[in-house]
Amino acid sequence: MGLILKYFDPNSVSLFTSRGHETHFGKLLMRWTVLSSDLLIFFPAVLYFVFVYHGVNQSSGDKSDVAWHIAVILINPCLILIDHGHFQYNCISLGLTLGAVAAVLSRRNLFSLCSVLSFS
């Protein structure tokens, strides 16, 4: 994400002079990079995990449980306040972790290993 920010606003990620650098455009760029990382990594991982979890535990309920579990995970106030309010990218590691757990549950060991190694 730093490379994307460097391309559009190099002053916001310069090593020694970016501390305290706040512009409206820089904040907007950081918010969009957090949201795009959510859309590209975290949301698909949540969907994958919930569908695998409900596939493994077929006695866990009906279709409304799937939607409820997806909503509860995606509308987590901690992630919304921390990641989006302070421009943190925790959802990337959480998405990779959820993807790895879902891969383990579905017995896709190679995918789980790739997910774990990508953020370690």
pLDDT in tens, 56-76: 666 656 667 888 888 888 888
Between the alpha carbon of residue 117 and those of residues 38, 61, 112, the distances in Å are 19, 33, 9
More confident residue, 68 or 78: 68
Q: pLDDT tens-digit profile of 25-41?
A: 877 887 888 888 889 99
Confidence of residue 20 (pLDDT cuts 50, 70, 90): low
Q: What pTM, to 2 d.p., does this model score?
A: 0.74
Provide the pLDDT for residue 57.
Answer: 66
Helix then strand then coil, in percent of the chain rounded to 5, is 80, 0, 20
Which residues contact residue 30 at a Cβ distance below 8 angstroms, ignoring those fewer than 6 apart? 5, 12, 87
**Domain range summary for the chain, segments of one domain joined by +:** 31-119
